[in-house]
Structure 1
Amino acid sequence: MTSSIHHTRTIAELLDAVVDGPLPVRVTAYDGSKAGPGSAPRSLHVATPRGLSYLATAPGDLGMARAYATGDLVVEGVHPGNPYDLLVDLEDLRFRRPDRHVLADVARTLGPRGLTPPPPPPQEALPRWRRVTEGLRHSLRRDSEAIHHHYDVSNTFYRHVLGPTMTYTCAAYPHREASLDEAQDNKYRLVFDKLALSEGDRLLDIGCGWGGMVRYAARRGVRALGVTLSREQATWAQEAIEREGLGHLADVRHEDYRNVTETGFDAISSIGITEHIGVRNYPAYFGWMLEHVKEGGLVLNHCITRPDNRPTSTGAFIDRYVFPDGELTGSGRIITVMQDTGFEVLHEENLREHYALTLAGWCDNLVEHWSECVDEVGEATAKVWGLYLAGSRRGFERNVVQLHQVLAVRLAGDAAPAVPLRPWWNA
């Protein structure tokens, strides 16, 4: 007579069974088991059964983000405001498909309830297919809800992270040792110069954020209008305009660009909004610009792009926690649509490395002001931001994403563009 006793594997043993290759970090769990090199400078601790359920029911970045935000997955060896080094450690982590024995052990370890996804943290937005209450994707209402989710966190929080410029777009570094504030001011100078703006011109800045471009242009005598879907941004921007005595030249409205009735602008800037437009809506978006800029007027589109030209929705973590309904494609697709719309494209450039430096600067600010940020938005939200900023920085460093500026002109009949033959600005 023989008997067999089934050995229920520890959490560490289950992890070893699904990881392909050596673990790059130390992993410990609430059952006392351990895996990975003991000498690793960074470690992960699965602190609760709920944390294990998050990881098992949503494998990948979404499950890890859920467990991390709730405190069920504890990270050691990095600051929560900048987990960059841990993300680099985990880049080569690969999983293999678990066999039925492993799946059975996971079920025994978690129990029936553990195989049901736990409720996600409150910071998480609904999945795309469940956002029907906000209307069709990129409708006025749904775009407003998506912008509110990310940009109306807290102006105080953004000031801590972004710094005094309150600029939440890629900076343009004149050199690698430049400060973040210097690089952001240089970005506005670059856009201003590319648009060949001069005193008395009229500028429309679509998706103007806290009004940085609007105020930069107004200080130089340009009549500037900015529109944003974030009410908190518009309120802050309008107060800044009044503080600087620019009310006779600058205005920021809480308004969808599609509701702007003024036309005949000398120039239009679109800095960090195309990511929210939707690739299928590009023809309508750039067509709207063509109708609202004067003949001979310049437009500049500045946005995150992909290295290829296939339209791609953002990943689960970014979509649920950062930019709901975000969608990216390559600079080639953007240029093609602008040309098909009727613009002549004059110049484009990739500022990918500049965005990696920008994100590193934001992470530094988050670390420096960590306690204030936690007091303002809570630890879970602050942790999500650290994860998002550090992960995005690595994405730009590895050419997973890029940042392109595209400059174009609405031609005036047979007339040549009213600009020099070659680029006339200092990059």
Structure 2
Amino acid sequence: MTLARVFEKLIGPDAPVEFVAYDGSRAGRPGSDIRIEVTSPYALSHMVHAPGSLGLARAYVSGYLDVHGNMYEALSTLQAALGDITGRDKAMLLREVLKDPLLRAAVSRRLDPPPQEAPFSRVPSWLRHSKKRDAKAISHHYDVSNTFYEWVLGPSMAYTCACFPEENATLEEAQFHKHDLVAKKLGLKPGMRLLDVGCGWGGMVMHAAKEYGVKALGVTLSKEQAEWAQKAIAERGLSDLAEVRHMDYRDVTETGFDAVSSIGLTEHIGKDNLPSYFAHLYGKLKPYGRMLNHTITRPDNLAPPIKQAGFINRYVFPDGELEGPGYIQQQMNDVGFEIRHQENLREHYARTLAGWCRNLDAHWDEAVAEVGEGTARVWRVYMAGCIVGFEQNWIQLHQTLGVKLDEKGAAHMPLRPDWGV
């Protein structure tokens, strides 16, 4: 049985994609906008020895499997088509494939994972998040290349969910609106002090300083991010108000901040460390200071957590852990924060990722030259896959606003939210 016939049996003869294999066999719709190409029998080795998304990712990152056309549309189409395939179906098709001596020889060889893959760790979660290990995990993802991120993220250099104020807003407008929404929820005013933990390339820090006259300190475990941010701060004439340090948030000695923002950091903290994390941030605030937590979440706490051995944790976010919004809120509440507002921005993250995918496609050749084809492929498939995840409610994005009450139990909050949409 040719690979094309296997593909046809898996997703049907009328699939809206074209399939091409190294053996010359073809299936699907000729001339389709999406073409899937198996360039080597070793693609099957990865898929057999690491079934599911991890095996497919290894084959794609290695270049043994290629996707021509829009990656999001390809993943959406395949996800819909393969939804009814049973384990028995796959086993039967594999038996047919292995009748080919070339394929049988390829599958019998267990290949090393691509070099972009971080080693899987069986260390329990409560041991994972030492300062040294966290720094290594953050560096794996963020110290890729500032130039690469400039192409993917655009001028804002914001690697977190944007908030689109209207249907036709651009990605840059949406990132500005996100930072402004956080600033308004925190009630920032001239002369206040802001601590931004996990500050990335300093977008929130610079926004608070420039737009609100706030003295803002950001901290990040990525050396490349900190260097880029400090240079940008100087170039924009904000050095008297804004600062980004290369350091762990646990090593910040200053206290008495008027506000704390955590935008995209909580995913890296680990479930067992959330109580101490929120307690630490609570201790950094003045009475009636506000804390805004912006984080990717699971839809609930019933589903099993993201697999530590899966594609995302091996290639993108080592040691990352997602919790449900109720659990996040509970941990904030239990350390003393009074929760005043929460909202889900999952549709906004799907739009944000679509913008990043377009940027990567527009700079594909430059990105490959900068970071290598394997790394560029990791980002292409990961971002497109996450669009599907947010659209289909596998994952969400929540902003949760808490306030530290004063000694009399007063919140010093407006009677109604005053931050708009």
Work out the CA distance in 1 between the residues paired with 2:311 and 2:321. Answer: 13
Aligned ranges 1:197-346 → 2 under 5 Å: 197-219=188-210, 220-310=212-302, 312-314=305-307, 316-346=310-340
For residue 308 of structure 1, report the CA deviation from its aligned partner: 0.8
- Check if 1:172 corresponds to 2:160: no
For residue 177 of structure 1, report the CA deviation from its aligned partner: 0.4
Structure 2 CA distance for partners of 1:59 and 1:22, relative to 1, 3 Å: farther
Work out the CA distance in 2 between the residues paired with 1:108 and 1:124. Answer: 31
Structure 2 CA distance for partners of 1:56 and 1:35, relative to 1, 3 Å: farther
Structure 2 CA distance for partners of 1:54 and 1:345, relative to 1, 3 Å: same
1:31-55 alpha-carbon deviations (Å, 9 max, x no partner): 2333444475423221112112112
1:277-330 alpha-carbon deviations (Å, 9 max, x no partner): 111211111111111111111000001111112461257111111111111111
For residue 414 of structure 1, report the CA deviation from its aligned partner: 2.1
Structure 2 CA distance for partners of 1:54 and 1:265, relative to 1, 3 Å: same
Asked if structure 1 preserves the Cα contact closer than 8 Å seen for 2:195 and 2:216, the reply is yes
Rg larger in 1 or in 2? 1
The RMSD of aligned alpha carbons is 2.2
Matching residue of 1:191 = 182
Work out the CA distance in 2 between the residues paired with 1:61 and 1:215. Answer: 38
3-state SS of the aligned residue for 1:127? coil
Work out the CA distance in 2 between the residues paired with 1:119 and 1:23. Answer: 35
- Check if 1:407 corresponds to 2:401: yes
Work out the CA distance in 2 between the residues paired with 1:63 and 1:193. Answer: 44
Between 312-321 and 62-71, report the one with greater CA deviation: 312-321
Asked if structure 2 preserves the Cα contact closer than 8 Å seen for 1:313 and 1:325, the reply is no
Aligned ranges 1:98-113 → 2 under 5 Å: 98=88, 103-109=94-100, 110-111=103-104
3-state SS of the aligned residue for 2:54? helix
Aligned ranges 1:22-171 → 2 under 5 Å: 24=15, 25-38=17-30, 40-76=32-68, 78=69, 82-92=70-80, 93-94=82-83, 95-98=85-88, 103-109=94-100, 110-111=103-104, 114-129=107-122, 136-171=127-162
Work out the CA distance in 2 between the residues paired with 1:238 and 1:205. Answer: 14
Asked if structure 2 preserves the Cα contact closer than 8 Å seen for 1:272 and 1:304, the reply is yes
For residue 413 of structure 1, report the CA deviation from its aligned partner: 2.2
Asked if structure 1 preserves the Cα contact closer than 8 Å seen for 2:44 and 2:106, the reply is no
Work out the CA distance in 2 between the residues paired with 1:352 and 1:424. Answer: 22
Structure 2 CA distance for partners of 1:96 and 1:284, relative to 1, 3 Å: same
Work out the CA distance in 2 between the residues paired with 1:369 and 1:103. Answer: 38
Work out the CA distance in 1 between the residues paired with 2:127 and 2:13. Answer: 45
- How many residues in Structure 1 have an aligned counterpart in Structure 2? 412
Work out the CA distance in 2 between the residues paired with 1:102 and 1:221. Answer: 64
- Check if 1:422 corresponds to 2:413: no
Work out the CA distance in 1 between the residues paired with 2:391 and 2:94. Answer: 36
Q: % of aligned pairs identical?
A: 55
Aligned-partner residue type, residue 399 of structure 2? Q
Q: For structure 2, which runs of at least 5 residues remain unmatched after alignment? A: none
Specify which of 369, 376, 386 is matched with residue 382 of structure 1: 376
1:137-172 alpha-carbon deviations (Å, 9 max, x no partner): 111111111111110000001001111111101111
For residue 266 of structure 1, report the CA deviation from its aligned partner: 0.7
3-state SS of the aligned residue for 1:193? helix
For residue 16 of structure 1, report the CA deviation from its aligned partner: 5.5
Work out the CA distance in 2 between the residues paired with 1:272 and 1:45. Answer: 35
3-state SS of the aligned residue for 1:313? coil
For residue 384 of structure 1, report the CA deviation from its aligned partner: 1.7
3-state SS of the aligned residue for 2:405? coil
3-state SS of the aligned residue for 1:296? strand
Work out the CA distance in 1 between the residues paired with 2:370 and 2:235. Answer: 24
Work out the CA distance in 1 between the residues paired with 2:349 and 2:375. Answer: 22
Q: For structure 1, which runs of at least 5 residues remain unmatched after alignment? A: 1-8
3-state SS of the aligned residue for 1:286? helix
- Check if 1:392 corresponds to 2:386: yes
For residue 103 of structure 1, report the CA deviation from its aligned partner: 5.0
- Check if 1:357 corresponds to 2:351: yes
For residue 56 of structure 1, report the CA deviation from its aligned partner: 2.0
- Check if 1:348 corresponds to 2:342: yes
Aligned-partner residue type, residue 294 of structure 2? H
For residue 120 of structure 1, report the CA deviation from its aligned partner: 1.4
Between 208-217 and 31-40, report the one with greater CA deviation: 31-40
Work out the CA distance in 2 between the residues paired with 1:279 and 1:62. Answer: 24
1:332-371 alpha-carbon deviations (Å, 9 max, x no partner): 1111111111110000011111111111111111122222
